Homo-oligomer: A and B are copies of this chain.
């Protein structure tokens, strides 16, 4: 058995999420099927981030084991060939040791959330960013974001059906920056709770609109109650950027 690490890009709109499931095509099943067509092996892919339906990836990391040795560039090109026309591509493939696990070895996961804040509806960014037509104060959002950094119980910022045993997580990075009409929220942590980034972004929008003060974020955190935070931002603004090991 040889283990291979893949870096993967996909358009979340084309899939019902990363994970194999019954209600639509998944990134995992699409790539596993492409591997099977290439070499006949029924390999399982394990990913760093099991993204939800609609969430995009620019640098998803996954691994798989193959019985036969294969050239890594051939593996990349063949999987891409057999995955057509699904909106997914393997950017790179490399051999890794058996101790590498894309999900369990990851020490950091990096996400980007894109908001476009202008009056005009989205055109080239349609389905690629959250359209917010009311003015947002990105500096206030950034001040609010800072309240969440560190090791906390993030119960307020996880989906009610999140199945993680503990809601205690360490949030390493949460920043909000404006670049013209675009507002970018960067989030980094060893791991996130279910919908955590999208709930944090949906809540920061309240700060951006001036409905909340920045330190209301700390109050929502302390409440340990999903009802104390804001709505969940839509999936199509979210990008899995990469994982560190």
Give the interface of A toward B (CB within 8 A): 9-11, 56, 58, 73, 76-77, 80, 84, 87-92, 118-124, 126, 128
Q: Which residues of B contact A87 (CB under 8 A)?
A: 123-124, 126
Q: How many copies does the complex hold?
A: 2
Q: Which of B9, B121, B122, B124 contacts A120 (CB 8 A)?
A: B9
Q: What is the distance, in angstroms, from A150's C-beta to the closest C-beta of chain B? A: 32
Q: Which residues of B contact A92 (CB under 8 A)?
A: 120
Asked if B9 and A89 sit within 8 Å, CB to CB, the answer is no
Interface centre among A76, A80, A119 (most CB of B within 10 A): A119
Asked if B120 and A91 sit within 8 Å, CB to CB, the answer is yes
Q: Which of B9, B76, B77 contacts A124 (CB 8 A)?
A: B9
Q: Which residues of B contact A9 (CB under 8 A)?
A: 120, 123-124
Q: Which residue of B lies closest to A125 (CB)?
A: B9
